[in-house]
Amino acid sequence: METFPLRRSANTSPESPTYQSMTKKNTNNGSRATFVSSPDEDMIDIQTSRPAGGGDLHRTTRLGDDEDDGITHFVVDSVAYSGTQESGDIPGIGQYDDFHTIDWQRDIARDRMRHRYIVKKKQDSLWNLIEGAHDAWSGWLCVLLVGLFTGAIAGVIDIGASWMTDLKFGICPQAFWLNQEQCCWSSNETSFEGGNCSQWVTWPQLLGHSRTGAGAYVISYLFYIIWALLFAALSASLVRMFAPYACGSGIPEIKTILSGFIIRGYLGKWTLIIKCVGLILSVSAGLSLGKEGPMVHIACAIGNILSYLFPKYGRNEAKKREILSASAAAGVSVAFGAPIGGVLFSLEEVSYYFPLKTLWRSFFCALIAAFILRSINPFGNEHSVLFFVEYNKPWIFFELIPFIGLGIIGGLIATVFIKANLYWCKYRKSSKLGQYPVTEVLVVTVVTALIAYPNPYTRMNTSQLIYLLFSQCGISNSDDMCDYKRNFTTVKPVIEFAPAGPGVHRAVWLLILALILKLIMTIFTFGMKVPCGLFIPSLCLGAIVGRIVGIGMETLAFHYPQIWLFSGECSTADDCITPGLYAMVGAAAVLGGVTRMTVSLVVIMFELTGGVRYIVPLMAAAMASKWVGDALGRQGIYDAHIALNGYPFLDSKDEFQHTSLAADVMQPKRNETLSVLTQDSMTVDDVEQLLKETEHNGYPVVVSRESQYLVGFVVRRDLNLAIANARRMVDGICGQSLVLFTAGNAPQTLGPPPLKLKKILDMAPITITDQTPMETVVDMFRKLGLRQTLVTHNGRLLGVITKKDVLRHIKQMDNEDPNSVLFN
């Protein structure tokens, strides 16, 4: 019953034209010719035709008519192959080993078969109808759940991190769960000194000292360092103890996984828990890192765990990646409160296979996640990020020049960061430093805390600093940065143009110091063995640069209002230059340079600011930064880390520009033999011997070693499982049993019963000829998501090209070490 609808769909498979033309030549196959020419025909036809086909096959084989036989085989068996795919008699067939590449074509075909089966059964009973309906909406249900959980967990992380960050400074004794801002939230004190209030007790106060003074400063300093050390130590040791995969940002790995690679446990339960907890701890430790990048990893882990509730996604790696793409969108959506930006991030940066269906699901998932986080309201500001600012100030056309300048500076900073960070990571990988991961975290924490505390801008949470830099100077902002010599005699509520006071100069110097410190510390921090993201530090670097440039421009415009550039707009003495806008543009520039995002970055930034007015400045800066970055160093940080780790990631953005042919790349090289299986002449012992001697992940099956006519392809894992299963389940299978990849009954011989393995044989492997240009081959690997392709010459099997071979070849052509590709 099960095989029936599946078999029918195989008629529409792309191979049927070949088959048709071949069978026309082959006159004794009349019955099957009719069955193909009418693909919608009923089941009975197929069934009657099949034994006939099998019989034919057998006869021709014995006649030794190799040429026709090979082709008829191919089609007849591809029909049966597709049918038996789903049934899965043997446990574990169709799964993948750790660190292996998935076969997108095979998985998608499997899902199509399963879908057909369900559609067909729908008419049978009411229960089947419900089952079919459940199947149809399970994708949406799954992304709904992913959105709910992602939003909730993001809320937990936001609240937990902001509470724990303030724990370094003091505590709210009446309600210990509130952070400093929330503690003073409802206090009605007219003073306005750095948000302090009597309810919030700093550590020196708790020890009986006064709030200010040298002694209090030293105690605060000590407490700051001790808490930072404690949090960092906890984070590093939890990661080391429970889930080593939770360290780092996770985006390079997510990119690799989405491109069709298996890393078992990378998106598992423990990784999720430890990543959340470790993220709270490492953000609170005051390290120069952010929680936005790991949020993508967390969301993907949630997606992976929830997809197991729906067998349609949980058991099919290619389908699972659709859910993971949507989860990645939800991750960015909650990280920045930017649902559309999240969808575009998933599309532009992480996803590999992104059909429209996935786009809509990502959209929905991001929406739900953002909605949940927004209703949790973690920061009490009605938004899902701390540094949300609302802007409605115009910018003047001339300002595009400084904006592009900021883009160039951003590109430069990003290049310096990428190069230095990569150098440090390589050093860590190859030297003794890599043996002391926890010590490294502790040392970096102590150094960061020691340097960061004296400077108020580095002492505070990085998100708060970004908020401060983004916001414009108003009545509610009493920071040094807004110390302008304004007089309040005019009635207008707007902040008028004024000369900078001494506070601004002080702030600029402190900001320059903060910039240097953040840049250096981030280089050393990113890649440590704690959960750490990169978005917030790079946004912060850019915001500092932007703010400084903005203040400079403002001062220039104030002192030289007669310059023709400023004369038009700045004569009215307000709304002339907004340093906060420069900070925003600068932030976009550095982040764009580091990650090489463009569209999604601009959308994220304008969703952060709630104003479409600044799209052009942001676009200009992002573009300039990308150009500068691309000119100075080819790769963004994520691609650079993928290359550093040697993940088998075939970038769909790069072009292949060499003129090599498939014959140059394929395995085996000259003087080596290709390990193949024959369709009906090898014994179980022979096969097991081959499996022992070679380490290939799959073997082509040929008609005979002499002819090398291709029959199909069989995967090592499946072969192992099938043999082990048969030895357990089927009586009489021993070392001398013949292994048959053909259909029909075996010839009646005296020996032990044959082992039929046609079920695990892929009868439709993608083949190319040896003269195919590599450009086409690379394109096929990218667009079809192949795992391997078989190379033929004059119709005879010549060799195999795997994804690893392609990656090695690309590396070799780019004059890099081809052995850096580690996995298969």
Site for other proteins in 167-196 (CB under 8 A): 174-178, 182, 185-192
- Residue 383 carries which side chain, given as an amino acid letter? H
* Contact with other proteins (CB under 8 A) among 69, 77, 107, 253: 253
Residues of this chain, 708-727, that bind other proteins according to CB under 8 A: 724
The nearer residue to other proteins, 254 or 791, going by C-beta atoms, is 254
Candidate ranges 346-354, 357-365, 451-459, 475-483; the one touching other proteins (CB under 8 A) = 475-483
483 forms part of the interface with other proteins (CB under 8 A): yes
Candidate ranges 17-25, 155-163, 631-639, 748-756; the one touching other proteins (CB under 8 A) = 155-163
Minimal distance, residue 293 CB to other proteins, in Å: 13
- Cβ atoms 512, 439 nearer than 8 A: no
- Cβ atoms 603, 338 nearer than 8 A: yes
Half-sphere exposure of 343 (CA within 13 A, CB side): 20
The nearer residue to other proteins, 270 or 371, going by C-beta atoms, is 270
Residues of this chain, 429-458, that bind other proteins according to CB under 8 A: 429-430, 434-435, 437
Minimal distance, residue 152 CB to other proteins, in Å: 10
The nearer residue to other proteins, 425 or 508, going by C-beta atoms, is 425
* Contact with other proteins (CB under 8 A) among 201, 262, 460, 644: 644
Cis previous bond, 531, omega within 30:
no
Q: Which residues pair with 701 in a beta bridge?
A: 677, 712
Phi, psi of 507 (to 5 degrees): -60, -40
- Matching residue, tokens 């993508």: 296
The nearer residue to other proteins, 214 or 475, going by C-beta atoms, is 475
Size of residue set near other proteins by CB under 8 A: 77
Which x/- pattern, by CB under 8 A, does the window 318-357 give for other proteins? ----------------------------------------
- Residue 525 carries which side chain, given as an amino acid letter? T
Secondary structure letter of residue 818 according to DSSP: G
Candidate ranges 300-308, 334-342, 486-494, 539-547; the one touching other proteins (CB under 8 A) = 486-494
Residues 6+ apart with CB under 8 A from 8: 39, 43, 46, 116
* Contact with other proteins (CB under 8 A) among 83, 94, 160, 260: 160
Candidate ranges 140-148, 421-429, 462-470, 588-596; the one touching other proteins (CB under 8 A) = 421-429
* Contact with other proteins (CB under 8 A) among 1, 214, 475, 612: 475
Cα–Cα nearest to 445, from 220, 281, 297? 281
Distance, in Å, from the CA atom of 784 to the CA atom of 702, rounded to the nearest integer, reads 24
- Cβ atoms 50, 4 nearer than 8 A: no
273 forms part of the interface with other proteins (CB under 8 A): yes
Distance, in Å, from the CA atom of 249 to the CA atom of 529, rounded to the nearest integer, reads 10
270 forms part of the interface with other proteins (CB under 8 A): yes
Give the count of beta carbons closer than 10 Å to the beta carbon of residue 418.
26
Residues of this chain, 359-388, that bind other proteins according to CB under 8 A: 376-377, 380-382
**What are the structure tokens assigned to 178, written together?**
């509130």
Minimal distance, residue 283 CB to other proteins, in Å: 12
∠ at Cα 248 (287, 439), nearest 5°? 60
Secondary-structure percent of the chain, ordered helix, strand, coil, rounded to 5? 60, 5, 30
Cα distances (Å, whole numbers) of residue 573 to 61, 497, 565, 578: 93, 5, 14, 12
Minimal distance, residue 494 CB to other proteins, in Å: 9
The nearer residue to other proteins, 78 or 284, going by C-beta atoms, is 284
646 forms part of the interface with other proteins (CB under 8 A): yes
Which x/- pattern, by CB under 8 A, does the window 668-707 give for other proteins? ----------------------------------------
Candidate ranges 352-360, 457-465, 490-498, 571-579; the one touching other proteins (CB under 8 A) = 490-498
Minimal distance, residue 463 CB to other proteins, in Å: 17
- Cβ atoms 511, 548 nearer than 8 A: yes
Cα distances (Å, whole numbers) of residue 435 to 145, 294, 438: 40, 24, 9
- Cβ atoms 76, 696 nearer than 8 A: no
Residues 6+ apart with CB under 8 A from 32: 23, 49, 52, 53, 72, 76
Residues of this chain, 518-557, that bind other proteins according to CB under 8 A: 527, 529
Q: What is the dihedral of CA 506, 512, 513, 515, to 10 degrees?
A: 140
265 forms part of the interface with other proteins (CB under 8 A): yes
Distance, in Å, from the CA atom of 67 to the CA atom of 26, rounded to the nearest integer, reads 11
Minimal distance, residue 768 CB to other proteins, in Å: 31
Residues of this chain, 76-105, that bind other proteins according to CB under 8 A: 91
The nearer residue to other proteins, 646 or 773, going by C-beta atoms, is 646
